[in-house]
Amino acid sequence: MRNPLSFHPILRNRLRKMKPLPVFSALGRSCLGLAAAFSLASCGGGGDASSSDGDAGAGDDDSGQPEIALIMKSLANEFFKTMADGAEAYHGENADQFGLIVNGIKNETDLAQQVALVEQMVARGVDAIVIAPADSKALVPALKRAQDAGIVVVNIDNKLDNAVLTEAGATIPFVGPDNREGAKLVGDELAKSLEKGAQVAILEGVPTAFNAQQRRAGFEDAMKAAGVEVVAVQSAQWEMEKANTVTAALLREHPDLAAVLASNDSMALGAAAAIKAAGKEGAVQIVGFDNISAVQAMIKEGRVLATADQHGDQLAVFGIDAALEILEKDVAPEDKKTPVDLVTKETPALPLPDR
């Protein structure tokens, strides 16, 4: 007679688990340290992982605790360090409830390494994967294989493509903000200081990423409503150094440029450096998205006008909670919208209410 437990994918996953592989916490933390300093230097090796458990080899052990893997995008982006710190702090407060592994890749376009991280977590036998995918389409097949192996998958930050999910037969909930809404909030704030007919440029992220598409759309919505001309839209791949190069070229090509709308704060920093080098501080305004600490300081100084706070320190926590709910209550996965707020010099970011 067949074991009745084998019919339930989560229980089947628990039963097939082998002893977890050791995790290289020091390597992961050194990469995150580099991210805090905005270094683009390599940490060596492939994707990095750190464990929030006291024992790096601990996870779903005899206590029956579920083990959750957080897989993020670029560790060179302060936003994802903030996300990791928030997840680890939350785990520290709830260490008796679940185990946590924190993973990330080195740059925003390293899709192969992020797929490899998903496959490593499947081989490890984690109970859930909470992922901020580097691409809205390319990660779907690997995540479907994870689901087929009995692993709960929750999508955060960058929404997976609905059509590709449907084609793959995967149902993966998205827990995150409305990126178009957040970008429009920022664009509307910028429009207040622009004359009708002013020229602006948009720095978009990875064009195949849904959040990049939505932020561009939100910026365009705001500029169209204000009668402002978008003279250029160029990708800087979410990265500060590329944004510096792209913005320098835009300033030469469009000498009357009045503002740069950057789809994340790393690119806003790159744009700010290019604008300063061109001697156009004050003449060309900058807005961003993410509310990282470096941009918070520039907003106070008046060098960046506004950004959007999607509460990066809580974004992974929202995803972890969703995964735990699915695991513990066996509920059907569903999308959950999370907050996004405008941040300016006059309206600084406020923490979310206690959970």
Walking along the chain (355 residues) 10 residues at a time, the average pLDDT comes out as 35 40 35 36 43 44 82 91 96 96 92 97 98 96 98 97 97 97 98 98 96 98 98 97 98 98 98 98 97 96 97 96 94 91 89 65
Is the domain defined by 4-175+313-337 classed in CATH 3.40.50.2300?
yes
Residue 49: what pLDDT? 56
Decide: 299 and 344 in contact? Cβ < 8 Å: yes
Residue 18: what pLDDT? 38
Strands 257-262 and 285-287: parallel
Closest CA to 99 of 126, 72, 120, 80: 126
Residue 75: what pLDDT? 82
The domains of the chain are located at: 4-175+313-337, 179-309
In this structure, CATH architecture of domain 179-309: 3-Layer(aba) Sandwich (3.40)
Residue 348: what pLDDT? 83
Closest CA to 68 of 116, 114, 101: 101
The Cα–Cα gap between 42 and 45 comes to: 8
The Cα–Cα gap between 73 and 251 comes to: 29
Q: Do domains 4-175+313-337 and 179-309 have the same CATH topology?
A: yes
Which H or E run contains 35?
helix 25-36
Q: Which own/partner pairs from 112-119 qualify as long-range (CB within 8 Å, at least 24 positions apart)?
A: 113/46, 113/47, 114/47, 114/71, 114/73, 114/139, 115/139, 115/142, 116/46, 116/47, 117/47, 117/49, 117/71, 118/71, 118/142, 118/143, 118/145, 118/146, 119/145
Q: 291: which residues sit within 8 A by CB, 6+ positions away?
A: 265, 307, 308, 309, 310, 312, 343, 349
Q: Cβ-count burial of 105 within 10 angstroms (0-12 exposed, 13-18 middle, 19+ buried)?
A: buried
Residue 64: what pLDDT? 83
* CA 186 centroid distance within chain: 18
The Cα–Cα gap between 68 and 90 comes to: 13
Residue 353: what pLDDT? 66
The Cα–Cα gap between 321 and 230 comes to: 40
The Cα–Cα gap between 225 and 222 comes to: 5
Residue 50: what pLDDT? 58
**Model pTM?**
0.80
